[in-house]
Copies of this chain bind each other. A is one copy, B any other.
Amino acid sequence: MTDPSGPLEPRELRAWMAFLAAGHLLDHEVERQLKRDGGLSHPEFEVLLKLGVADGNRLRMSDLARLVMVSKSRLTYQVTQLERAGLVRRTACDSDRRAVWAELTPEGAATIERVRPGHRRVVREALIEVLTPDEIDLLGEALSRVAERLLAR
């Protein structure tokens, strides 16, 4: 029974530090590619992706915020930027007049397609190809649990 606020074991520390480092570096790499190939930030790209797989290519702002894991005000900002770039459009929601649809435009869909190949390549080269198939499965399994657990609070 270890002290819940005492030092981490070396192996635990290693896992945490590797997680942080890999996160920083991977995100940096992804950001670079997205900016280069499409002038997008990573959060912006995630917004486009979520809209791309949504029913009718649209989502309400608050659902979108939850999916992308971003604050409401931040999403407002990002969607405004994407709207300015013509990649997303805002529409009124008939059934709830407080709500706002964020909808992917054809240009937005085209942008996804243009940027995605490079994005996939980055994820492959930096993450997937460095891991064995077993590690990939275990990582997905373990980190899904971590995320799930944090969501359920």
Contact = CB atoms under 8 A, between A and B. Distances in A.
Interface string A1-36: 000111110011011101101111111110000000
Chain multiplicity (copies): 2
Contact of A150 (B5, B126, B136, B147): B126
User: Range of interface residues on chain A?
Assistant: 35 or more
28 contacts: A4-B120, A4-B124, A4-B125, A5-B118, A6-B120, A11-B136, A11-B137, A12-B124, A12-B128, A14-B144, A15-B128, A15-B139, A15-B143, A16-B123, A16-B128, A18-B139, A18-B142, A18-B147, A19-B26, A19-B143, A22-B146, A23-B23, A25-B151, A26-B146, A26-B150, A126-B146, A135-B138, A135-B142
Interface of A: 4-8, 11-12, 14-16, 18-19, 21-29, 69, 116-118, 120-121, 123-128, 130-131, 133, 135-140, 142-147, 149-151
